[in-house]
């Protein structure tokens, strides 16, 4: 899952980036409103954490612009403690949640998970596909009763595949959801990671789940038994 953090306070931004990365999210950070808005328009994020008071363009204006363009990405606003209730009500319709500063990371993480859960088709913290299970909280991946040890990047890729079963995922889509904006898309890194993942998830199982769609990308599906 890829999250955009738009926050001008470097300390807060770094704290969010570090904490979310430790929770296996892929994180892009923008330190001003204009950069944040252009990233939000160019990329397909799974969630945006949007500060209200920002240089360049404030968070409420960004929220309104995204919603007017029918960009329905879940958004959690980071608000000042003394923000008046009327104003909160005003933009509540457009955002999914708001959290007053200062907040603890645990509190923020709980809100992030709740919003993502509401937006996911399963509505649960556990994703299932065939005999594969992925726990979004403990980050455990189990196949056929056996735990599979994955690196952070392999886990992100697995999660993205499991959120989109039976759907062809292009390399561009995978890049957008699993790698941050420093990613060099001219490399074959995606194929390399898919192969790492296959070696861990499919090797030794008669039923292969990760399949190549030649010239396009990859698909998670129950294929023919070999
Ligand atoms: Ca701010």
Phi (first) and psi of residue 117, to 5 degrees: -65, -45
Single out the residue in 87, 102, 119 at which a domain terminates. 119
Where does the pLDDT of residue 26 fall: very low under 50, low under 70, confident under 90, or very high at 90 and above? very high
- For ligand 1, a single-atom ion, the residues with CB < 5 A are 8, 51, 53
Are both 60 and 165 inside the same structural domain?
A: no
CA of 15 from ligand 1 middle (Å) equals 14
Q: Rounded to whole angstroms, how far apart are CA atoms 162 and 201?
A: 12
In a domain, 130, yes or no: yes
Which of the four pLDDT bands, split at 50, 70 and 90, describes residue 67? very high
Q: Are residues 15 and 105 in the same domain?
A: yes
CATH (domain of 157): 1.10.10.10
pLDDT at residue 94, rounded to an integer: 85
Mean pLDDT (whole number) for 135-164: 94
Domain residue limits at 151: 126-220
- Do 89 and 139 share a domain, yes or no? no
Looking at every residue in the chain, the average pLDDT score rounds to 90
175 within some domain? yes
For 187-216, the pLDDT digits (tens) are 788 999 999 999 999 999 999 999 999 989
225 inside domain = no
Last residue of a domain, one of 119, 134, 151: 119
Residue that terminates a domain, selected from 99, 119, 139:
119
Is the same domain home to 62 and 165?
no
Q: In angstroms, what is the span from residue 12 Cα to ligand 1's centroid?
A: 9
- Expressed in angstroms and rounded, the spacing between residue 8 Cα and the centre of ligand 1 is 5
Rounded to the nearest angstrom, the distance between the alpha carbon of 80 and the centre of ligand 1 is: 8
């Amino acid at each position: 899952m890829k999250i955009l953090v738009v926050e001008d306070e470097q300390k807060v931004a770094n704290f969010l980036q570090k904490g979310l990365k430790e929770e296996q999210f892929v994180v892009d950070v923008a330190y001003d409103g204009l950069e944040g808005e252009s990233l939000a328009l160019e990329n397909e994020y799974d969630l945006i954490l949007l500060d209200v008071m920002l240089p360049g363009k404030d968070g409420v204006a960004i929220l309104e612009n995204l919603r007017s363009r029918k960009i329905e990405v879940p958004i959690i606003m980071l608000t000042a403690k003394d923000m008046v209730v009327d104003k909160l009500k005003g933009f509540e319709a457009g955002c999914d949640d708001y959290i007053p500063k200062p907040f603890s990371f645990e509190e923020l993480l709980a809100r992030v998970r709740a919003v993502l859960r509401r937006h996911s088709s399963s509505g649960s913290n556990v994703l299932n596909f065939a005999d594969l299970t992925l726990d979004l909280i403990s980050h455990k991946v189990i196949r056929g009763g056996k735990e599979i040890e994955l690196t952070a990047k392999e886990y992100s890729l697995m999660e993205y595949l499991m959120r989109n079963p039976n759907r062809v995922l292009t390399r561009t889509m995978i890049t957008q959801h699993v790698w941050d904006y420093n990613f060099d898309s001219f490399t074959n890194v995606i194929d390399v990671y898919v192969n790492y993942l296959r070696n861990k998830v499919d090797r030794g199982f008669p039923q292969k789940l990760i399949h190549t769609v030649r010239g396009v990308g990859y698909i998670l599906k129950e294929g023919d038994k070999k």
